[in-house]
A and B are shown apart, each in its own frame.
Chain A
Amino acid sequence: MLEIRNLHARITGTETEIIRGLNLTVKAGEVAAIMGPNGSGKSTLSYILAGRSDYEVTDGDILYNGESILELEPSERAAKGIFLAFQYPVEIPGVATMQFLKVAMNEQRKARGEDELKTPEFIRLVKEAAGDLKIDPEMLKRPLNVGFSGGEKKRAEILQMKLLAPKLCVLDETDSGLDIDALKIVSDGVNALRSPDRAVIVITHYQRLLEYIVPDSVHVLYKGQVIKSGDKDLALELEADGYAQIIEAAA
């Protein structure tokens, strides 16, 4: 489903290379975990997948279902099914959460040539998904992410993911800021989306999340490269020993 080949990327307009020859393949149905020390480039990779213009790809390619997505706008990538749950969801004062959800769902439907959702249908879908995630409907009346607590923001990201039903889900530290109950609720939400035609990339620092969302593969990112890949046991190893050995071995 996703194939990243020898990807090099830098901060747009500078010489600062952050992704330095990264290779990663994620198959449909797979849950891949990406771990790695602070500043290794995990969020940058997720932004590049989503198409953020602050980064420019200087070499390599990203293939999604066999096609390069490098030339696509973020909105086009989203319409094709790529979804990024942000490490730091963005507050947008003045834009009501419900209005945002409706516009987002309808724009994606429009891009795929589907009919717009009728309001009652839309409200039913939101209520249902919010209920599953134990999100207070009052929260959705507020401006998007404004004044949401850290955990509420993360839940709101998963709510969006449920409603938009993407094919490639990238979760950037969705577990940080979640209390124990919320971690369970959010993980259930993600697990419910697992399906043979969908892939999930989970970026995390902690083994705990991977107990709930059990990954098929684990990849260690360091200085903009995947320096080691393995199965779920690799995460346990990292939890016990830290990154030092792996980094040394790769050097």
Chain B
Amino acid sequence: MDMQTKPTHTLAEQAIIDGFLARVGDFPGDASVTSARDRLVSEFRAGGLPTRRMEAWHYTDLKAQMKIVPNMDTGLVDAARPLVGASTVLPVLQGSANAPQAVEGCEIWPFMDMLASGDAAKLLRTRGDDDVIGRLNGAFVTDGFCLEVADDTVIADIIELQAVQNGGQAHTRFPASFGQNSTATVIERHLGSHERSGFSSSISSVDLGAGAEVTWIIVQQRGDKDQHLGQLNARLGANSRLNLFIVNAGGKLIRQEIHIEVAGEGSHFNLRTINLLAGDSHTDVTLTLGHDVPNTTSSEIVRNVVLDRARGVFQGQIKVAQAAQKTDAQMACNTLLLSDDGEFAAKPELEIFADDVVCAHGATVIDIDRTQLFYLMARGISESTARGLLVNGFVDELVGELENEELVGVLETMIEQWLAAHA
């Protein structure tokens, strides 16, 4: 860029930059963190928000869609009750972590500590040019939680990372590492309010040691004026298994990125995503998945219910490296389009450099099955109730795959309530 011309920023871009400048002295972090933040902000100043010309953002033109950005805010919110009864809740309220509860076998400390010590500086970088989430979150992050599960440890109770926000801005991080042969279930929950609009970003980094088995569940229930940018980066060690389950059930503008490196032989990545989309919302789930070594498997199913004028996006890119023989990757994206004004764009993409692999992808758009509807009605179930059952069933099928029965019940109820309120 010609250094003479001042880049013109949109109102949202300017608000982001101004917000940074207004709080520049207050951000936590040592000198190395501060310089990392400065570097990221100047990158943002130069590049701005992404447009559809950037491939990764082709279906979500942030520059056009982000009209306003609320002020940085330190309003007060309360933690919510845990999703599942027996859990350890780790709340991050308006971007600020509560003192963590102890969990046996798992070290937990606030991300703020890593900023203060400078240990976080190396994490404040982008994945690449188009990593706007990494850039913004790196510049603005204030807190979060770090988890470290010891080797050979089974964490029996669910750990619930709970990011609660009532308007304003919040930028959080959740680095988590799971030792060899450890087992754990983590819920990453994002809650917002419907009164004030909020802007948030959150990055989770999940590292699975050899033989680790981790279920990670993202439950996004932002308010209907909220803009949220989420990213989950995971690396799978040998013979490990990551079950990633995502439910999007809120927000005005949502982007959830998932970047997976299937890096250890014998490992399996499982993704189940439920997008419940209503109103004028825009929800984008973007996956990049690299099978980098031989003998790994993955399975991805995305189910979408689209109402009103809602728009949804699923970009799923699977790369199978030349060395990654015997890869088995199966990806499907199914949409129940219940409104003529709604839409869902699915862009599956396979890049295969190995020859001995089994890879498949499919995207379908369906309506309620009339034979199923008739069957239910022939049992005395009214049409509206029968439709409700079928829509519920379409997504509950994925929930039913989870092992924790209480969790299954809770998610089913949540979905049922969402559909009752919106459909």
Interface residues of A (CB under 8 A from B): 50-54, 73-75, 77-79, 83-84, 86, 89-90, 92-95, 99-100, 103-104, 107-108, 111, 143, 160, 164
What would 5 more interface pairs be, CB under 8 Å, given A53-B374, A94-B394? A52-B374, A75-B382, A75-B386, A77-B378, A104-B381
Q: Is B375 an interface residue (CB 8 A)?
A: yes
**CB-CB under 8 A for A94 and B380, given A89-B375, A107-B385:** no
- 8 A-B contact pairs sorted by A residue (CB < 8 Å): A51-B377, A52-B378, A90-B372, A90-B374, A92-B372, A92-B376, A92-B393, A95-B396
* A residues near B396, Cβ cutoff 8 Å: 94-95
Question: Nearest residue in A to B381 (C-beta to C-beta)?
Answer: A107
* B residues near A53, Cβ cutoff 8 Å: 370, 374
**CB-CB under 8 A for A74 and B392, given A104-B379, A164-B379:** no
Q: Is B363 an interface residue (CB 8 A)?
A: no
Return the contact of B380 from the options A93, A95, A164 (Cβ within 8 A).
A164
Q: Is B350 an interface residue (CB 8 A)?
A: no
* A residues near B4, Cβ cutoff 8 Å: none
Q: Which of B380, B390, B395, B396 has the most CB of A within 10 A?
A: B380
Closest Cβ of chain B: how far from A67's Cβ, in Å? 17
* B residues near A52, Cβ cutoff 8 Å: 374, 378
* B residues near A78, Cβ cutoff 8 Å: 377-381
Q: Is B323 an interface residue (CB 8 A)?
A: no
Q: Which of B370, B381, B396 has the most CB of A within 10 A?
A: B381
Closest Cβ of chain A: how far from B219's Cβ, in Å? 19
* B residues near A83, Cβ cutoff 8 Å: 378
Q: Is B5 an interface residue (CB 8 A)?
A: no
Closest Cβ of chain B: how far from A102's Cβ, in Å? 11
A95→B390 contact, CB < 8 A: yes
CA distance A108 to B394 in the complex (A): 24
Q: Is B389 an interface residue (CB 8 A)?
A: yes
Return the contact of A75 from the options B370, B383, B390, B397 (Cβ within 8 A).
B383
A143→B393 contact, CB < 8 A: yes
Question: Nearest residue in B to A75 (C-beta to C-beta)?
Answer: B377
* B residues near A74, Cβ cutoff 8 Å: 374, 377-378
B393→A94 contact, CB < 8 A: yes
Closest Cβ of chain A: how far from B113's Cβ, in Å? 44
* B residues near A104, Cβ cutoff 8 Å: 376, 379-381
Q: Residues 231-260 of chain B: 1 if any A CB is under 8 Å from the residue's CB, otherwise 0?
A: 000000000000000000000000000000
Return the contact of A94 from the options B377, B379, B386, B392 (Cβ within 8 A).
B392
A95→B392 contact, CB < 8 A: yes
* A residues near B383, Cβ cutoff 8 Å: 73, 75
Closest Cβ of chain A: how far from B143's Cβ, in Å? 38
CA distance A160 to B392 in the complex (A): 21
Closest Cβ of chain B: how far from A156's Cβ, in Å? 12
B380→A75 contact, CB < 8 A: yes
CA distance A74 to B374 in the complex (A): 7
Q: CB within 8 Å of A: which of B362-378?
A: 370-372, 374-378
Q: CB within 8 Å of A: which of B338-382?
A: 370-372, 374-382
* A residues near B374, Cβ cutoff 8 Å: 50, 52-53, 74, 90
* A residues near B379, Cβ cutoff 8 Å: 75, 78, 100, 104, 108, 160, 164
**CB-CB under 8 A for A100 and B376, given A73-B383, A92-B390:** yes
* A residues near B378, Cβ cutoff 8 Å: 50-52, 74-75, 77-78, 83-84, 86
**CB-CB under 8 A for A143 and B376, given A75-B381, A94-B392:** no
Q: Is B400 an interface residue (CB 8 A)?
A: yes
B380→A79 contact, CB < 8 A: yes
* A residues near B376, Cβ cutoff 8 Å: 92, 100, 104
* B residues near A50, Cβ cutoff 8 Å: 374, 378
**CB-CB under 8 A for A95 and B375, given A73-B383, A164-B380:** no
